[in-house]
Amino acid sequence: DGCQMLSIKGINTTVGQEQQVGMQEKQVLQDLEMPLARRETETLFQEQPETGNQYLEDTLLRSYLKTHLPPKVLEEVHQNLERFGNRLLTQIQPLGWECDLNPPVFRQYDAWGRRVDHIHTCSAWRRMKEISAEEGLIAEAYERRYSNWSRLYQAVKLYLFSSSSGGFNCPLAMTDGAAKVIESLGIPGSLKNAFDRLTSRDPRKFWTSGQWMTERRGGSDVANGTETVARKQPDGTYRLYGFKWFTSAADSDVTLTLARIADAEGQCTQGSRGLSLFFLRVRDEEGKLNNIQVQRLKDKLGTRQMATAELWLHGARAELISAEGRGVASISNMLNITRIHNVIGAVASMRRMISLSRDYARRRVAFGKLLKDHPLHVQTIARMEVQVRGAFLLLMEIVRLLGLAETNLASEQEQLLLRLLIPVAKLYTGKQASAVAVEAMESFGGQGYMEDTGLPVILRDALVLSIWEGTTNILSLDVLRSLAKSQGQVMAVFLSTVQKKLELASGTEELAPAVQQTREAVGSLTQFLEAAGSEQAVTMELAARDFSYSLARIYTGSALLIEHAARPDTSSTDVCAAVRWCNQELCPVAAESRRGSYGGGAALQDSALVFGNS
């Protein structure tokens, strides 16, 4: 009949020859064209995933607190966390999104050519600082209202805050670290005001701190990379001269930094023995920089909400706060705290992505049914859920031990365990967070790739977690150092702690497979250590990463997931998570060792594969 299909802006209309269409029909088509196009497009809109009160929706968090906190502490903390969860939803999340959309801007000169080096941050970022004080996000750990549980309570609040904070969790990490260093030095009189401000609940008094360690040579090798020189002044203060290549939270009020003290002839001691720790105010009372010039802001892949800068120190006035040459030892307290914050950020990021993914699965229809009714889709989310559960319990274990240490209640064994678990948890959860972010993004299909959903920023910000505060390899070597330093004592504590936890769970029938798999993994780990004792140092270095992964998986499975699932009021979900965690390769270092990955010229083979046979 000479008919053809014409698509008119979304309307499929069957027409014959143009002249056969009456004027009236043409008018009707024109009248309906735009509304119909809009109406048809509306049916394509996808439901936006939403979450409610993060605290109330986090069943694992609530069950952990119920199991471990004393009843009176639990009652008070529960009320506060429920209130905080509501504030996150109504006030903090919108501010966080505003921080994501309005990164800092650097203005080097004013309109008249005067150098001002002004870093402009958005109002939402400045409001985050006030909220951090009001909520006691640093203060809570140092007031010790709940004795040894104070640090754990602070970590829970930071965990809830992190993924809604618009990147403000990063300055808080360094602020907490600075407060910890000052407290460990006994809060000397000259630093009393700084400590009070770093731990204040008053937004008008609260200070944040930076951590300026990385210089032009970059990286974790601060012993050989630090060139900044400190010159002593007649009044006992110091002037710092040097270039800081990567200074996070450059808008902070104060900072801790490393430098080499010059002697009377202007000579400096090289290596880590030449490094001392300094405290300095970034600006004076009028807001003028302390003989500091901002060269530029870093153009980063993620954490763009926070100003990270390159800074020249042209005689910045500073105070020596460590013993001379003891800078690295003094700042180690800060690194432990910032690494724990890194773990908090990793676990929070995973929990946020999975919560959104789960809600989306309840709303999104594909192939005639909701995503939650597609078994493969649910399996994918379930696998991520097991990962985040393990990571969460590892975080809680670390802050529980830290709380004991800070209130002088930790045994020597618990202190050794804490020293080992901090780098292990930091390196492992950093890797987990990146993997979960990528997998969870995929669960949204194409929407996961769209900037205005807020999902890509979670992925970008997660990628720094395996780099900042020590890469996976650097921290794996740190784990080996902690073993060597304790002359094997730390491994004995690790293994005995795991065995005790397994014994407590051995009577639970549903957990029997998980207990058995973990015992076998512990046996494999012990055999590897015995065999490695007679090997060259290069063997252990090659094994360092897999060794750290083995510690993370065994401890998370046995000491944490199995222990949590063995409690009297456990749920089938807790049991399932423990069993599934233990179904993976718990001791990759033993498996790789059996494959010959570390000995017999493995390093030479690796080099040939990477660089070729020259």
Clarify whether residues 114 and 146 are in a common domain: yes
Q: Of 303, 327, 351, which residue sits at a domain end?
A: 327
Q: Is the pLDDT of residue 571 over 60?
A: yes
Give the pLDDT of residue 27: 55
Residues 180 and 72 in one domain: yes
Same domain, residue pair 511 and 602: yes
62 plus 195 within the same structural domain: yes
Q: What is the pLDDT of residues 279-315, one digit of tens each?
A: 999 998 888 999 999 999 999 999 999 999 999 999 9
* 168 shares its domain with 257: no
According to DSSP, residue 507 is labeled T
Helix (H) / strand (E) element for 243: namely strand 238-247
Binning pLDDT at 50, 70 and 90, where does residue 224 land?
A: confident
pLDDT above 60 (res 505):
yes
Element (H or E) spanning 204, and its range? none
Contacts 24+ apart (CB under 8 A), 228-232: 228/257, 228/258, 228/259, 228/260, 228/313, 229/259, 229/260, 229/261, 229/262, 229/268, 230/259, 230/260, 230/261, 230/262, 230/276, 230/278, 230/318, 230/320, 231/262, 232/261, 232/262
Can you give the pLDDT at residue 44?
52
Q: Is residue 37 part of a domain?
A: no
- Closest C-alpha among 193, 198, 137, 201 to residue 168: 137
- Same domain membership, residue 226 and residue 129: no
Radius of gyration of the chain (CA): 28
With 0-12 CB in 10 A as exposed, 13-18 as middle and 19+ as buried, what is 294?
A: buried
- 141 & 263 share domain: no
For range 525-545, the mean pLDDT = 86
Average pLDDT over residues 259-271: 92
| Percentage of the chain modeled with pLDDT above 70 | 92
- The answer to whether residues 280 and 240 touch, using CB atoms and an 8 Å cutoff, is yes
60 shares its domain with 112: yes
- 524 and 597 assigned to the same domain: yes
Number of domains, the chain: 3
Q: Does the pLDDT value for residue 28 go beyond 80?
A: no
Task: Give me the pLDDT at residue 181, please.
Answer: 98
Helices (H), 471-554: 472-485, 489-505, 512-532, 537-554
Residue-wise pLDDT tens digits, 509-522: 999 999 999 999 99
Domain ranges, residue 577: 487-613
Is 41's pLDDT higher than 70? no
pLDDT tens-digit series, residues 164-179: 999 999 999 999 999 9
Pair of tokens at residue 192: 């009393």
**The pLDDT of residue 286:** 87
The three-point CA angle 468-581-505 to 5° equals 115
Residue 583 lies in a domain: yes
Using the 3D structure, point to which of 327, 357, 390 is the last residue of a domain: 327
For residue 204, which phi and psi values (nearest 5 degrees)?
-75, -20
Domain assignment of residue 416, yes or no: no
What's CA 235's distance to the chain center, in Å?
Answer: 41
Task: Summarize pLDDT for 299-357 with one digit per residue, the tens.
Answer: 999 999 999 999 999 999 999 999 999 999 999 999 999 999 999 999 999 999 999 99
Question: In which band, very low, low, confident or very high, does the pLDDT at 20 lie, cut at 50, 70 and 90?
Answer: very low
Same domain? For 166 and 235 the reply is no
Question: pLDDT tens across 355-374, in order?
Answer: 999 999 999 999 999 999 99
> pTM score, two decimals?
0.92
Cα within 13 Å of Cα(421), Cβ side: 30
Domain-ending residue, one of 199, 233, 257: 199
Shared domain check, 297 and 274: yes
Here the tokens at position 320 are 């020596």
CA nearest to 179, candidates 261, 253, 272, 288:
253
Q: Is the pLDDT of residue 43 over 90?
A: no
In our burial notation (b when 16+ CB lie closer than 10 A, e otherwise), range 40-49 reads eeeeeeeeeb
| Token duo for residue 494 | 């690790």
Helices 327-363 and 150-162: crossing angle in degrees, nearest 10, is 50
Residues with Cβ within 8 Å of 610's Cβ and at least 6 positions away in sequence, in order, are: none
Sign of CA dihedral 328, 333, 336, 340: negative
Query: What percent of the chain has pLDDT above 90?
Result: 83
Within a domain: residue 134?
A: yes
In a domain, 371, yes or no: no
Tell whether the torsion through CA atoms of 242, 248, 251 and 252 is positive or negative: negative
User: Residue 506: pLDDT band by 50, 70, 90 thresholds?
Assistant: confident
Query: CA neighbours within 13 Å on the CB side: how many for 526?
Result: 13
Q: Mean pLDDT throughout 426-451? A: 97
64 shares its domain with 185? yes
- In whole angstroms, what is the distance from residue 311 CA to residue 279 CA? 16
pLDDT one-digit tens code per residue, 145-161: 999 999 999 999 999 99
User: Among 215-219, 261-265, 301-305, 410-414, whose mean pLDDT is lowest?
Assistant: 215-219
3-state secondary structure 60-101: HHHHHHHHHCCHHHHHHHHHHHHHHHHHHHHHHHHHHHHHHH
Q: What is the pLDDT of residues 84-143, one digit of tens each?
A: 999 999 999 999 999 999 999 999 999 999 999 999 999 999 999 999 999 999 999 999
Report the CATH number at residue 248.
2.40.110.20
Q: Is residue 315 part of a domain?
A: yes
Between 79 and 507, the higher pLDDT residue: 79
